[in-house]
Chains A and B, each alone.
Chain A
């Protein structure tokens, strides 16, 4: 840090991102046909073809060593390539430049560049979100041939790559977890009752998900689909709507609703104003898996104060103004009431637990079984910025420990003494992982161990977590 004045740091950045299918242009001269999507798009054609060809070659070559598990990534000094084959012959490739430090040399020589060896955290979530909004590649091909597929990919990835912020990726992106809202049994049952009643009276609704404060409370979708939807909601849809809400413009009380039922409900997808005669009743469509394939659904996201309900309806049904008005009239008042109930519960619980003191430790918890994540390191995760309260170097250590955990099946524990008086502890018990950052000067290993034990006893006393 002391030499920060002279040194130049480069964070990891995206060099290329492309999708290809080798079977689309097997003959010489037709190589361009293989490429379905290429970022950045302004690269010269021959370079595109060269890069794709290189990847193809690497995959083919490595396959000779292990036919069942083709290479997943290639690490070179300057960059790292990730290969992912979500469907037969469809390849998604991402090339990331490694972070580096440029050290100026005293005697006017060109600067020395140090490429840093560290794990770059990327997940396969990018395909998952594609499939959420587009279904599978194969399906798009069936529907409209290669052209439609290319169109869809353009549309989706153009947006998607803007939300990809490699420099702020951290452990939570690797987990791709779901943050659950803590709630007492009774309020939870009330929400259950609400969901069941809405699904009963609006029988078009196939699935419902319920969130509060951007945290999940109930999902009628299966876990894997929910994980992707949750990611979309919390990193894309909600942040886009939070700005006007904070400004207080967009959620006026609506006394014009019949029956004098005042409520704060509004559509986050679909019509912004039901009263507008020009309003369009088009909703984003998503794809979720079923026992025998997938199904296409309308995604209605309806929010009242901090409570959001997602209703999913078969895409084969056309949604009308009538339906939306019915939904608004039924859900709006109930959701408003529930939201204030939950809010009250939440503040009561807070008061009981007492004023929050800045604890001696910070932690990240993740459970692979239910994808539950919990972090006291992240203040708030939005689309563009990820505010963490610890130094990026410590976050990198967390990433390293995570990679170590991924290599073995056994339970284990890793304790790292980091620079600047920090201790970092990683624990893995069955399907759960816990990462703790302690700031204790002069603490020794035993004391750190004791401290973590204490933390487990207070924070995780209701789960089976081996010491």
Chain B
């Protein structure tokens, strides 16, 4: 069971003094800071952030109960709210948000006000304000969007976006309530709405509880896509298949839904298409499981080593959940980040195609994906599954290669005005290239005992097929692996056929490998020569091969046919011709080079640089001086 917990709390939580009658705890979502305020600040305020740099401790005068406390971005300015009523107007202040280091937005029940802060002058300047009846608000610091709940029922939501001193009203939208209450009353709770970015897009998530009157047997999460411009649209429905109290997190672009009564969580991937459902209805990716059991480490110098860590109560009612991935237990004084563990998904998700789709979109996916590859090429592997896995991988790989290519092309064409926006494509972990596959999967797989060679070759060919299908150039080490495996099992005729259909693409290393096989499989010689010929850059190699086979005339005819006759070393040919012991052959070759000399330099004699002296002597010995070609007198 324990390997099935696919969610876990981070190992190093942020620790703070737990909430008590003398210690108030506040959390600022924008800076992810926890404020522990003792006695209204008089005995100290301790601020803990995600890292040590953002942690601060200070004191301030106790001027009454603190309602809200937040630093501006970069810990520049501290804002503290102590009463519900503002000074100037007769409105209740619902809260405030820092949208920049010196910009602050106040939300009251009657509207919002956007101010610039001048710390030196200790003054504020109103930049913009808007009157509107507000029930409650939500803030998404990542996108600096504030969402206001308006109207009596509270289900008309009005978003505002803030950027560089401007406040921009976005189009409002209405949340469909399961039941419309009569008479009208506030029906949409702040607790049931959350904002988060998923796959780079801002979404408003609505936790729609089941209702006995409406025809909805179980709860669901409805996602509204909130674009920068344009209307907000209902885009996804996540089916929870149960009822009760829920909380939402976003981890690694997955929507996590915690269910308190069963103490389990579900995850949803909005990019996973359900094959047989209507538009964007989603079922959980994996079956419900609880967060991995967590033991609270007893930190601090006073810890007795023998004392075991205390198990932490998960899904406790004292937990508060914040976006995107934060869980806080104020009573115990911990802030955790929620994390997704991928290996359990491999066990829980049987459909390997779906599993790959899921894994390829996760952040730390590489090793898990490679382990899936190793697994599916293992004993229980099946070729259709292997093919699907490879195709999914290579789809992502191809997209990356294409982006890279476009980028390189744009860079080479020079920095034109349009290309300023060109960014080098990011290579995510999901990009698994041929060398990854070779090192982590294929090379060890071909060595594995107990796997039939038929299956090994089928898998290698399947990978090559997949690469070809996505028009990715296959690296020659993959071909070498294929050849090695075929040779190991004496499957030369198979190899021959692959080469015949150019499944193993031509390259010099491959041609050389084939040459080395000649002693065990003679036709490899012909295959190798053909390949060298097709490469058309390997004429020297062809000559070498022919000479080594004592096919001196063949070599001479070949080099002539490709027009390289004038540049070859005559000595090399004469050496080879003499080695054959065939005097007529030696004569022919010798005379042919004399003719070449005559044509090139007007004299049949060899240059000293050609080092042919001994061959001249040999020729004279065999055929006599008079057989030498005489300089022609024109």
Which residues in A have some Cβ–Cβ distance to B below 8 Å?
180, 183, 185-186, 188-190, 192-193, 196-197, 199-200, 218-220, 222-223, 367, 369-370, 372, 411, 430-431, 462-464, 466-467
Contact = CB atoms under 8 A, between A and B. Distances in A.
Contacts of B464: 189
A241 B445 CA distance: 44
A207 to B, nearest CB: 11
Closest 8 CB pairs of A and B: A196-B458, A189-B465, A464-B529, A464-B533, A369-B523, A188-B501, A463-B530, A464-B530
A193 B557 contact: no
A193 B462 CA distance: 6
Contacts of A370: 496-497, 500, 523
A426 to B, nearest CB: 17
Contacts of A462: 530, 533-534
Contacts of A197: 383-384
Interface in B483-499: 493-494, 496-497
A193 B468 contact: no
A334 B26 CA distance: 65
Given A200-B455, A466-B557, A466-B558, A193 B501 contact: no
Contacts of A467: 557, 561
A223 B493 contact: yes
B503 A464 contact: no
B257 interface: no
B529 A193 contact: no
A199 B533 CA distance: 36
A387 B462 CA distance: 41
Contact of B462 (A196, A223, A464): A196
B532 interface: yes
B382 A200 contact: yes
Interface in B446-460: 454-455, 457-458
Contact of A464 (B383, B384, B469, B532): B532
Nearest to B504: A185
A386 to B, nearest CB: 26
Interface string B282-303: 0000000000000000000000
A413 B533 CA distance: 21
A180 B497 CA distance: 10
B1 to A, nearest CB: 34
A223 to B, nearest CB: 5
B497 A219 contact: yes
Contacts of B503: 185, 188-189, 192
B382 A186 contact: no
Nearest to A223: B493
B526 interface: yes
B469 to A, nearest CB: 7
25 contacts: A180-B500, A183-B501, A185-B468, A185-B503, A186-B465, A186-B469, A188-B501, A189-B461, A189-B464, A189-B468, A190-B465, A192-B465, A192-B503, A193-B461, A196-B461, A199-B454, A200-B383, A200-B455, A218-B497, A370-B497, A370-B500, A411-B554, A431-B526, A463-B533, A467-B557
A368 to B, nearest CB: 9
A196 B469 contact: no
Contacts of A183: 501
A190 B461 CA distance: 10
A216 to B, nearest CB: 9
Contacts of B457: 196
Given A190-B465, A219-B493, A464-B529, A200 B458 contact: yes
B502 interface: yes
Contact of B461 (A192, A199, A369, A431): A192
B387 interface: yes
B542 interface: yes
Interface residues of B, number: 35
Contacts of A186: 465, 468-469
B532 to A, nearest CB: 7
Nearest to B455: A200
B461 to A, nearest CB: 5
Contacts of A220: 494
Given A186-B469, A369-B526, 20 more contacts: A183-B501, A185-B468, A186-B468, A192-B503, A193-B383, A193-B387, A193-B462, A196-B457, A199-B458, A218-B497, A219-B497, A220-B494, A367-B526, A370-B523, A372-B500, A430-B529, A431-B523, A464-B526, A464-B532, A464-B533
B526 A430 contact: yes
A194 B141 CA distance: 53
Contacts of B534: 462
A151 to B, nearest CB: 34
A128 to B, nearest CB: 17
B434 to A, nearest CB: 16
Interface string B501-539: 111000000000000000000010011011011100000
B40 to A, nearest CB: 73
Interface string B79-96: 000000000000000000
Nearest to A225: B493
B523 to A, nearest CB: 4
A38 to B, nearest CB: 38
Interface in B559-576: 561
Contacts of B462: 193, 196
Contacts of A222: 493
Nearest to B536: A461
Interface in B39-92: none
B201 to A, nearest CB: 37
A192 B383 CA distance: 12
A183 B500 CA distance: 10
A193 B382 CA distance: 12
A141 B493 CA distance: 32
A185 B530 CA distance: 17
A196 B461 CA distance: 9
A219 B495 CA distance: 11
B465 A193 contact: yes
Nearest to A206: B454
Interface in B132-183: none
Contacts of B526: 367, 369, 430-431, 464
A211 to B, nearest CB: 13
B502 A185 contact: yes
B503 to A, nearest CB: 6
Contacts of B533: 462-464
A391 B462 CA distance: 48
A208 to B, nearest CB: 11
A431 B497 CA distance: 17
Contacts of A372: 500
A44 to B, nearest CB: 48
